[in-house]
Amino acid sequence: MEESAVVTDFLKAYKDTFHLKQTDAASYSPLVLAYMGDAVYELMIRTMVVKRRNMQVNKMHRKSASLVKAETQARLIKLLETELTEEELAVFKRGRNAKSATMAKHATMIDYRMATGFEALIGYLFLTERFVRMVELTGMGLDKLGEFGADE
């Protein structure tokens, strides 16, 4: 219960300080959602790696990079597709089907598109403040990949 109060207090302070207005996350383009989701997912992964145990920064970076690369995100979302609600699946597909001007240099087009869809979903869940669902899906996907709780 206390954690909910902390999140609520954080969100209020964040919105008040930066004068953020309420917006409809569905109105954003899928690439904007993916832009947001990329940052949020990376922050979740980095936090998980840092809090797992103290290690050299280059080892933390390698572990984080292996989990945020397009190939891993594509594998993760493939494992999660059956767990998504209709709304979440629609957001994922919008992101997956979005035409981007760029592509990751070490990813296939299919992996890149799947990863963009995953990031769009994470961005959408973040912007709609469905944090529990966002973390639940991420944890479930990492668990199915064998990465949740794995120590290196």
pLDDT value for 150 = 52
Residue 151 annotated in active site: no
How many other β-carbons are positioned within 10 Å of the β-carbon of residue 89? Answer: 16
pLDDT value for 3 = 61
Residue 43 sits at the vertex; the CA angle it makes with 39 and 44, to the nearest 5 degrees, is 120
Closest CA to 118 of 146, 94, 143, 149: 94
- Dihedral of alpha carbons 69, 91, 125, 17, sign: positive
Per-residue burial over 30-61, b if 16 or more Cβ lie within 10 Å, else e, is: bbbbbbbbbebbbebbbebbeeeeeeeeeebe
pLDDT (tens place) for every residue of the chain, 152 residues total: 456 778 888 888 988 899 988 889 989 999 999 999 999 999 999 999 999 888 899 999 999 999 999 999 999 999 999 999 999 999 999 999 998 777 777 888 999 999 999 999 999 999 999 999 999 999 999 999 988 665 54
Q: How far apart are CA 135 and CA 31, in angstroms?
A: 21
pLDDT value for 1 = 44
Closest CA to 139 of 57, 68, 48, 63: 48
Q: Catalytic one among 9, 16, 38, 143? A: 38
**What pTM value is reported for the model?**
0.91
pLDDT value for 114 = 96
Q: Where are the alpha helices (DSSP H) in 18-130?
A: 30-52, 57-68, 70-80, 86-97, 109-127
